[in-house]
Amino acid sequence: MTLRVLLDVDTGVDDAMAIQFAVAHPDVDLIGITCVAGNTSLGNVVDNTLRVLDLAGAPPIPVAAGALRPLIEPVRASHVHGGNGLGDIPLPESTRTVDERHAVDFARDLLLASSEPVTIVALAPQTNLALLLRLHPEVIPQIERILFMGGSASGGNATAVAEFNVWHDPEAASIVIGSGVPTFMYGLDVFNQVTIDEADADALLTGPSASGRLTGALLRHQMADDADGEPDPSGYAGHIGDAGALCALVDPDALHIERHPVRVALAGESRGQTIVDRRQRVGEDTVHAAGSAAPATRPTVIDVALDVDRERYARLFLATIATLP
Ligand code: BDR
Ligand code: CA
């Protein structure tokens, strides 16, 4: 079944792989892309997105620029994506133009004009989405669900407990998760698992397809960003990152998914952590809630991906990218 998809990105090494996947996969009808500051500046994000669409031979998919910075936090580009956000890999300048509307207005118009509900796949800090839901709640019935890359039920990457996208704009993630829109969290528990081995990355890098060569270079960039910069003896090249969230969209059966209450920690050392309540039984905080420091509101229950058939997603990713020019 074809899914109508609006992508929200901060392109971004792995966002670039995700955009290529979304363009290539026959079950994804990519109707628009909104950009937000995150991995790199908004200007870089927009520029990278247009260039990647060109390389993938995409039809004229509308692209709109959104929030320049998080709701409260300052801009903090991720160091792992290089100076241009694409691992310093140069791509030809694009001739595509950017939609004149702010991403929030663009998304509102797109959703309200759609003849069927749209799935939003968010691969970035959720600033645009939070603004959309707060400014234009009338779009909510038009959203099939929000599938977001972000958060973790285990450890973090930006901090010991917080994943980058949520840490970058915790208030925005809290608004989105608590919005009542059906929400699916593709977090670090699965994000880090789907890797491509060195031989496959090199085959892409030296192959005939321009998109394949970009993917190979992006995977190679990730390997170079490993702690010691040395090739891993296990043959590990890099992970598909955000592209895994697109795999989750078209092949959810490869995931172990559970429904749990999730909230975003907004204060203190754990700021930006997604607190996933995996308890099977009511806890003491609930039993003895009166007069305790328990949260005043019950966290929203959402779908959380906790494990993945990593081989299956690696194969799906490679087979999909292989169809691009
Ligand atoms: C997320 O942050 C960025 O580095 C990636 O693009 C991904 O969306 C992982 O924490
Ligand atoms: Ca991203």
Residue with CA at minimum distance from ligand 1 atom 4: 39
Task: In whole angstroms, give the CA distance from residue 117 to residue 143.
Answer: 5
**Any ligand 1 atom below 6 A from CB of 198:** no
Neighbours of ion ligand 2 (CB under 5 A): 10, 12, 15, 123-124, 242
Rounded to the nearest angstrom, the distance between the alpha carbon of 50 and the centre of ligand 1 is 19
Whose Cα sits closest to atom 10 in ligand 1? 164
Q: What is the pTM of this model?
A: 0.95
- Number of domains observed in the structure of the chain: 1
Q: What is the pLDDT of residue 290?
A: 62
What pLDDT is stored for residue 44 in this prediction?
Answer: 97
Predicted pLDDT of residue 237: 65
Which of 79, 164, 273 best tests ligand 1's pocket when mutated (most atoms within 8 Å of CB)? 164
Ligand 1 near 15 CB (within 6 A): yes
Range of 166's domain? Answer: 3-321
**Which percentage of the chain shows pLDDT scores above 70?**
93
Please tell me if the CB atom of residue 241 comes closer than 6 angstroms to any atom of ligand 1: yes
Question: Tell me, what's the pLDDT at 238?
Answer: 87
Ligand 1 center to 121 CA (angstroms): 13
* Cα(283) to centroid(ligand 2), Å: 35
Interval 60-82: pLDDT, tens? 999 999 999 999 999 988 788 88
The low-confidence residues of the chain, meaning pLDDT below 70, are 225-237, 290-296
CATH classification of the domain holding 288: 3.90.245.10
| CA 44 to centroid of ligand 2, rounded, Å | 13
Number of the ligand 1 atom closest to the C-alpha atom of 149: 8
